[in-house]
A and B are shown apart, each in its own frame.
Chain A
Amino acid sequence: MIPRFSLTRPGSIEEALDAFDRAADDVAYLAGGTELLQVMKMGLAQFTTLIDLKGIAELKGISVLPVGTLRIGATSTHRDIERSPLVRERAAGLARLESRIANVRVRNAGTLGGNLAFAEPHSDPATFLLACGASLTLAGRAGRRELEVAEFAVGPLATAREQDEVLVEILIPAARPGEGRAYDKIAFFERPAASVAVRLTVVDGSIADATVAVGSLTDTPVVVTGAGGALQGAPVLGDGFAVALDAAAMALGGVEAMADLNGSADYKRHLAGVLLGRAAGVAVREATAHA
């Protein structure tokens, strides 16, 4: 059984911050509860007050801002994102990865904000968002601030979020002409064993620049600069592409992977190398279609 707690259901961010101020020390925000209620059940964390964010209109909804940025409200569920025509059109890789998270029940309840705020090292979307250069907005007593996704997770289950801060929205920049963004993972259990996101730009048949992010290997998803660099300048057709993919996979050798239930560090690096090839192929196809 979940230990006793009291529940407040604010209707605005202001009310949520007031509720946070009034509550004792052991207070937590609640979204879908797929992580929070589970850790409370298992006795890994206890809270006497939960502040439910799901009734706050500003945290909902998916829209496109005037500059073309995709804005995803923090309490959008994985299912909302997977099904959103805007996401399918503007960040197809994200819609696809969302449709493959966990199982349908976790996707129906779990939110993107909760996923990022929990900062589980095996998060799917965090890796993709990192490669895309996405950012997020936090609102707290001290005001609002925008952080890069790259600055947000600082360790396993640890983020740069101040305790009172509410994660409001996730902002994904529009793909530039000739840009492709893709993600692939392999999972033996509930969460991924290894995952790779690739963002690249194709100009005149070769890769002008590339970012490779790897998830589930390290404490937080990481950008592997050497892997992105190895893809840069490569032609997207023929042997040249295969050679560049091999070099990029080699560059993953430097990632300080952790062994876990899924396998040894070497094995997980190997998996990431295979996934890198698959994701890069999809990203090139997307880039060529957007040229």
Chain B
Amino acid sequence: MHETLEIRLTVNERSEAVRIEPRETLADVLRERLSLTGTKVSCDAQVCGACTVLVDDLAMSGCTFLAADADGRSVRTVEGLARDGRLSPVQQAFIDHAAFQCGFCTPGMLMAATAILEEHPRPSRDQVVHGLEGNLCRCTGYEPIIEAVLAAADAGTVDEGVAGW
């Protein structure tokens, strides 16, 4: 018998208890145990961001984050963005701005964008670019994605903040 442990976490606000092996990643558990296949794995090396999920509101690479480290924490994935059949503002903005083509990077981009907008409700363009730096897209050339995130932000004044610190 291999060592296993039970983790309790919430995924998109639902409580889950899953018995896992220590070596399982959060992306494995979401995709293989909980059938939440919206989260993608591509580079498996924390470079591309296809696997971006939010753990206690912070963007993490699901591909290299131990599921054991999600014990007791709140995980959000792309499946949790829409509410009562209504897309989240950033999801709608991605459609309106043609911010995806093949769509493979989109779940990760949406989660990264969600984290940016929660931290900076009215981000500057710099803040959007900085926050998306680790999410790669091979189709769009990024411009429509940046436009979509800015459009999804509250209309009105723009944060003065510069990227990073």
A52 to B7, CA, bound (A): 15
Contact residues in B for A1 (Cβ distance below 8 Å)? 23, 28
| Interface bracket on B | 20 to 34
Query: Is the CB–CB distance between B66 and A33 below 8 Å?
Result: yes
A286 in the interface (beta carbon within 8 A)? no
Task: Report the interface size class on chain A.
Answer: 20 to 34
Does the CB pair B134–A103 fall under 8 Å? yes
Contacts A6-B3, A33-B65; A104 near B165 (Cβ below 8 A): no
B164, A99: Cβ atoms closer than 8 Å: yes
Give the contact stretch, choosing among A34-42, A116-124, A225-233, A239-247: A34-42
Complex: how many Å from CA A106 to CA B65?
10
In the assembled complex, B52 has its CB within 8 A of some CB on chain A: yes
- Taking a contact as CB atoms under 8 Å apart, the answer to whether B66 and A37 are in contact is yes
Within the complex, the shortest CB–CB distance from A93 to chain B, in Å, comes to: 10
A95 CB–B CB distance under 8 Å: yes
Distance of A106 Cα from B61 Cα, bound (Å): 8
Interface residues in B8-31 (C-beta closer than 8 Å to A): 21-23, 25, 28
Q: How far is the CA of A102 from the CA of B68 in the complex (A)?
A: 24
Asked if B6 CB lies within 8 Å of chain A CBs, one says: no
Chain B min CB distance to A262 (Å):
16
Q: Which residue of A lies closest to B51 (CB)?
A: A105
Which one of A52, A88, A95, A105 lies within 8 Å of B134 (CB-CB)? A105
B: which residues have CB within 8 A of A?
2-3, 5, 21-23, 25, 28, 44-47, 49, 52, 58-61, 64-66, 68-69, 112, 115, 130-131, 133-135, 163-165
CB<8 Å pairs between A and B, sample of 30: A1-B28, A2-B23, A2-B25, A4-B2, A4-B3, A4-B22, A7-B68, A33-B64, A33-B66, A34-B46, A37-B66, A41-B64, A52-B69, A82-B164, A95-B165, A99-B130, A99-B163, A99-B165, A103-B46, A104-B131, A104-B133, A105-B46, A105-B49, A105-B61, A105-B134, A106-B61, A108-B59, A108-B60, A109-B65, A190-B47
